[in-house]
Amino acid sequence: MISPVHAWVLTRFRGNINIYMGNEPVSRSLASQNLLLRGATLKNTEYIYGVAIYTGMETKMALNYQSKSQKRSAVEKSMNAYLVVYLCILISKAVINTALKYVWQSDPNKDEPWYNEKTETERQRHILIRAFTDFLAFMVLFNYIIPVSMYVTVEMQKFLGSYFMMWDDEMFDEELGERAVVNTSDLNEELGQVEYVFTDKTGTLTENNMEFIECCVDGNVYVPHVICNGQVMPGAAGIDMIDTSPGPDAREHEELFFRALCLCHTVQVKEEETVDGIKHGIHQGKSSSFYISSSPDEVALVEGMKRLGFTYLRLRDGQMEILNREDEIERFELLEVLTFDSVRRRMSVIVRSSTGELYLFCKGADSSIFPRVISGKVEQVKARVEHNAVEGLRTLCVAYRPLSAEQYGQVCHLLTRAKLEFQDQDKLVAEAYDLIERDLILLGATAVEDRLQDKAADTIESLHKAGMKVWVLTGDKMETAAATCYASKLFRRSTQILELTTKRTEEQSLHDVLFELSRTVLRHYGGMPRDTSSGLSSEYTDYGLIIDGATLSAVMRPSQEESNSGNYKEIFLEICRNCSAVLCCRMAPLQKAQIVKMIKASKEHPITLAIGDGANDVSMILEAHVGIGIMGKEGRQAVRNSDYAIPKFKHLKKMLLVHGHYYYIRISELVQYFFYKNVCFIFPQFLYQFFCGFSQQPLYDTAYLTLYNISFTSLPILLYSLMEQHINIDILKKEPSLYRDITKNSLLTWPIFTYWTVLGIYDAIVMFFGAYFLFDNTTFTSNGQ
Amino acid sequence: MMASSYNAKEEDGPHSGSSTHGGTGVAKNKKPDNTAFKQQRLPAWQPILTAGTVLPAFFVIGLIFIPIGIGLYVTSNNIKEFEIDYTGLELGSPCHDCSKNFTWNSTTPCVCALNFTLEQPFESNVYMYYGLSNFYQNHRRYVKSRDDRQLNGDPTSLMSPSKECEPYRTSAETKEPIAPCGAIANSLFNDTLELYYIEPNGTTTAIPLAKKGIAWWTDKHVKFRNPVNDKENLTELFKGTAKPVNWRKPVYELDPSDPENNGFINEDFIVWMRTAALPTFRKLYRIIHKKPSTTSTLPSGRYTLKVTYSILYNSVKAHAVKGQDKAFI
């Protein structure tokens, strides 16, 4: 029944169904509009018949499932390295003692004095077996140097410590009623090690809460909040002020524009009250009914229109009802919907007005509308669109085309023919759409703002100061994304922007562009070592890089014909390393993960953090060392796959700068202390062997040996590692640069580890010989015993 | 500030969005408690070390330790120690003959006498130690070679001692179990030391040496016990067992003068059984109790230490530490 499309093609579905009426199978084609996806709600009908397809492991979700690899923190890795060192120490100690034992025993008087004879079987044992058993006995004797209980304590510290994160009042969000969620406690300390932050834009940096800002009809700007009661007032902030009487032609265009926006969408009206109440409810502007759409932009547009006087009421019996400024209901018959797709990046509707005129309204991205426009005030609108894009607004252009009856007939013919075709349906439909959507007359453009989240700029600034490199990975187009980056202070005015986009690579070859950029970047840092250059970024010129998806995939593509194309990746990485901020726009979800992977694999092996809210960020969250989910509007997918989830982007600051810092300090002290205390404990035992003829006599009672790690020493340090605050929380928040002190695992480097070990050995020697000389010639009790 | 905005939200509870009463209830529960512990705001104190605070603290602590140090120094100086080496390896030593000719199975004990002079009288109780050098009482094989159950008077262990005692578990000839078994017991120090005071007029008086009170109380009363059954006589109790190879006398005849000090609870034996941690060690041998009169315990003058060599500590340097005067205690 189904002709399977590859699982990773998420947007397409094709199949046909054979319906048996009698014995004759009737074949019907199925496409994605016949498919009900998970989470679909039943509307307007009591029931539908359905067949379950793609179930269980066949679901696209399961097929796209990236097995969640075990994430291990840098601290754990260094812990393991230390363990290997200690194992070596253990073995060498045992070997030294075994060797010395036989040197010592070479004197038979010492090996077997008259007071301490061996048994017959002991004497007959082969020397190698004896040596081996001695070695094993020394291993057992010294095995306490390996801090076995450290793992238990570390796990407990992490588990209990993660509660502080959940309990944090400042990471509680009032609106959502959510607090931070810790899905894994293994990575607490990794939060203090982050060097690269990869963030999604929509929903993470921004609220994903679209707001209609303005529209522009033929170069005249309309701003909703300065329009009252259907009267267009001259906006105070507007640049191209409209006349109160724009003339009949403009007036007509204006109304057409508003109607177009009211009609050209796939928004549905969700009513809470009964049918009778709707009209009243909407008219009063109460939230008794609201709009639902797959795209938040559309909702914002329709709501914006409502504020401009044109209210979309509902779709009933193929009739779209609009309440216009004069409170009259206009009815349009919805004839065709040319749905939105990401290739065309526009959508259209064909409607018949109550007067019988046929219109095609088209709405889409500027780049896809302008080439199809034949008339209208293109220049003014274009200028406005560009202006808005720079402001960080999401822009859409609206155009229309009046259709004659014959034209409509043609359109219908084209569409039905395309839809009946099974083999190349998609292609034919696209061609048909292409034919229909042309010779448009430009009406205007809209601008929708996706507001920045609260304190997003402050957070990014702090992260920068803390020495982290922030990358924004977004699917949005370059101008919009760049504007958001400026607004969020990712790019400052002083930042020198390097562009690596399709536009540039079209002019020059990728090769040249890359080399030029790397030269620009490296020229600046020319003579000096990189450490100093990354130290205080504010004193040097900042570089910001903008790269788009297409160019990135070109960079990432493995070398095919030339050998030097493999170097592109290296050059690109070199450029990235020298940029404080990187913006990647037009990214596919998988590309996001690829970038994270690329940075992870670069030669410094930096710790990466990915933060996002939507399902498209999941792959990136799973790939990064630490994945953080934002409890956003796009579902819980990201939250479920993340290691930590926070309600808002601003909470990242406290999470990294305070909690991350603390946990890193705490756990590193914990780990070092554990090694120290075991050295301290066991080294006297080693020394004692020199005084007891290397006979494996333990220095301590068995009870001490057992309890030392478990109860004598683990609890105090556990408490310490839960509560330690070497610096006040407020200071940590105020001075993000303190974070730089602990990057690169700086508290678990080999010199520090050696320091602790040497300290342990020193203390052990002091304790052993202190006791040795103290009790050498004295008695313990007053009665001389 | 956050708290106030939260309250505002609570007031318009059901109105806000689609969340029902249950929704806000959940939200309410999710709000973390604003306690000092959970918000990591517990009071803390962190010393800020500056020269102004550290130096005075340093000197104050230093000043406190000066009197303590003086006190310890005076006490330590009041302890007098006199040590005599009777190993007899040097030719001139009176014990040279003994150490040379004596073997452990010789029937007659070898006695040697050492003369020495105390320049200063010893006040208070005097403790007499014997010391051994290069004797590895801490060797693992040696330390393990004992049966604590047997020493605690367990009748079954008495007749079948623990395997750890090998090769000092059963006697080679009679195959009887050795009591007390093991290497430690076998090597019991059994030199006899006697001390004589030579008065200025030439007469020699023996100084009374107390045998009791040299072992730990817990050892004597808890850890070491003679086997108990209906037989009263220790000789009967230890019937069927053999004496350790190196011993001259069986365990029940260790102290002929005091029947209460025989068997496993002999204090010399108990002291020996508490193994020393280092190869050079001292063990308490006798106590010379303070005299009730005002005279010194050991007045200054000439003394003779009579050593009865009983076993051969040939490789081991033995010396008697003569007294440790504890006038202060």
Interchain pair B125, A784: CB under 8 A: yes
Share of chain B above pLDDT 70, in %: 77
Residues of A in contact with B30 (CB under 8 A): 172, 177-179
Rounded to 10 degrees, the C-alpha dihedral A388/A389/A391/A394 comes to 90
The number of beta carbons lying within 10 Å of the beta carbon of residue B142 is 25
Catalytic-role residue among A134, A168, A186, A200: A200
Residues of B in contact with A172 (CB under 8 A): 2, 30-32
The mean predicted confidence, pLDDT, of chain B is 75
Q: Using an 8 Å Cβ cutoff, are A578 and A469 in contact?
A: no
| Mean pLDDT score, B244-267 | 83
Interchain pair B282, A114: CB under 8 A: no
* φ, ψ at A273 (rounded to 5°): -90, 180
CA distance B142 to chain A (A): 6
Start-end of H helices in A450-588: 456-465, 478-487, 502-507, 510-525, 530-535, 549-556, 567-577
Residues of chain A with pLDDT under 70: 1-14, 57-69, 109, 224-249, 271-289, 294, 342-343, 392, 421-423, 507, 523-541, 557-566, 633-635, 776-785
Residues of B in contact with A161 (CB under 8 A): none
CA distance B232 to chain A (A): 31
Interchain pair A169, B32: CB under 8 A: yes
| Cross-chain CB nearest to A782 (options B141, B142, B329) | B329
Interchain pair A109, B315: CB under 8 A: yes
Distance between CA A142 and CA A272 in Å, rounded?
A: 74
- Say which residues have a Cβ less than 8 Å from residue A777's Cβ, sequence separation at least 6: B282
Distance between CA B83 and CA B131 in Å, rounded?
A: 10
Interchain pair A116, B187: CB under 8 A: yes
Residues of B in contact with A780 (CB under 8 A): none
| Cross-chain CB nearest to A692 (options B5, B23, B139) | B139
Classify burial at A701, counting beta carbons within 10 Å of its beta carbon; exposed 0-12, middle 13-18, buried 19 or more. exposed
| Mean pLDDT score, B301-311 | 76
Distance between CA A646 and CA A459 in Å, rounded?
A: 14
Rounded to 10 degrees, the C-alpha dihedral A264/A266/A271/A275 comes to 60
Tell which of A41, A97, A116 to mutate to test the B interface (max B CBs under 10 Å): A116
| Cross-chain CB nearest to A169 (options B34, B214, B324) | B34
| Cross-chain CB nearest to A174 (options B5, B23, B329) | B5
CA atoms within 13 A on the CB side of B242: 19
Residues of B in contact with A118 (CB under 8 A): 141, 167
Does B11 have pLDDT greater than 50?
no
The number of beta carbons lying within 10 Å of the beta carbon of residue A780 is 9
CA distance A400 to chain B (A): 36
Distance between CA A273 and CA B238 in Å, rounded?
A: 104
Q: Using an 8 Å Cβ cutoff, are A490 and A585 in contact?
A: no
The number of beta carbons lying within 10 Å of the beta carbon of residue B317 is 17
User: Considering only alpha carbons, which residue of chain A is nearest residue B24?
Assistant: A177
Interchain pair A120, B167: CB under 8 A: yes
User: Considering only alpha carbons, which residue of chain B is nearest residue A778?
Assistant: B282
Residues of B in contact with A110 (CB under 8 A): 136
What pLDDT sits at residue A279? 41
Instruction: Dihedral sign for Cα A545, A551, A556, A562, please.
Output: negative
* φ, ψ at A447 (rounded to 5°): -135, 130
**pLDDT band, very low/low/confident/very high, at B92 (cuts 50, 70, 90):** low
Interchain pair B2, A170: CB under 8 A: yes
What pLDDT sits at residue B64? 95
| Cross-chain CB nearest to A697 (options B42, B140, B287) | B140
Two tokens at B87?
Answer: 């190993």
Residues of B in contact with A784 (CB under 8 A): 125, 127, 214, 284, 287, 324, 326
Residues of B in contact with A646 (CB under 8 A): none
CA distance B8 to chain A (A): 10
What pLDDT sits at residue B62? 95
User: Considering only alpha carbons, which residue of chain B is nearest residue A134?
Assistant: B140
- Say which residues have a Cβ less than 8 Å from residue A530's Cβ, sequence separation at least 6: A577, A578
pLDDT tens column, B47-65: 788 888 899 999 999 999 9
Interchain pair A178, B27: CB under 8 A: yes
User: Which DSSP string corresponds to B249-317?
Assistant: S-GGGS-TT-GGG-GGG-HHHHHHHS--SSSSEEEEEEEEPPPSSSS-SB-SEEEEEEEEE-S--SSSE
Query: Beta A496-500 vs A440-452: how paired, if at all?
Result: unpaired
Share of chain B above pLDDT 90, in %: 5
Rounded to 10 degrees, the C-alpha dihedral A578/A580/A582/A583 comes to -150
ipTM: 0.78
Residues of A in contact with B324 (CB under 8 A): 779, 784
Instruction: Dihedral sign for Cα A484, A490, A494, A496, please.
Output: negative
Interchain pair B39, A723: CB under 8 A: no
What pLDDT sits at residue A755? 94
Tell which of A97, A105, A115, A130 to mutate to test the B interface (max B CBs under 10 Å): A115
Instruction: Dihedral sign for Cα A174, A175, A180, A181, please.
Output: positive
CA distance A349 to chain B (A): 32
Residues of chain A whose beta carbon is less than 8 angstroms from a beta carbon of chain B are 109-110, 113-120, 163-164, 166-170, 172, 174-179, 662, 691-693, 695-697, 723, 725-726, 729, 772, 775-777, 779, 782-785
Query: Beta B204-206 vs B317-325: how paired, if at all?
Result: unpaired
pLDDT tens column, B98-128: 666 655 555 566 777 888 888 888 877 788 8
Distance between CA A621 and CA A244 in Å, rounded?
A: 52
Tell which of A97, A101, A114, A288 to mutate to test the B interface (max B CBs under 10 Å): A114
Catalytic: A643? no
Beta-sheet strands, E only, within B95-203: 110-118, 126-133, 192-198
Interchain pair A723, B42: CB under 8 A: yes
Amino acid in position B282: R
Tell which of B34, B137, B142, B284 to mutate to test the A interface (max A CBs under 10 Å): B142
Two tokens at B171?
Answer: 């006697």
Interface size between A and B, measured as CB pairs under 8 A: 124
**pLDDT band, very low/low/confident/very high, at B135 (cuts 50, 70, 90):** confident
What pLDDT sits at residue B98? 66
Q: Which long-range contacts (CB under 8 A, 24 or more apart) does B229-232 make?
A: B229/B155
Residues of A in contact with B142 (CB under 8 A): 115-116, 695
Distance between CA B318 and CA B114 in Å, rounded?
A: 14
Bridge partners for A445 per DSSP = A216, A397
Size of chain A in residues: 785
User: Considering only alpha carbons, which residue of chain B is nearest residue A115?
Assistant: B187
| Cross-chain CB nearest to B32 (options A116, A172, A176) | A172
CA distance B34 to chain A (A): 6
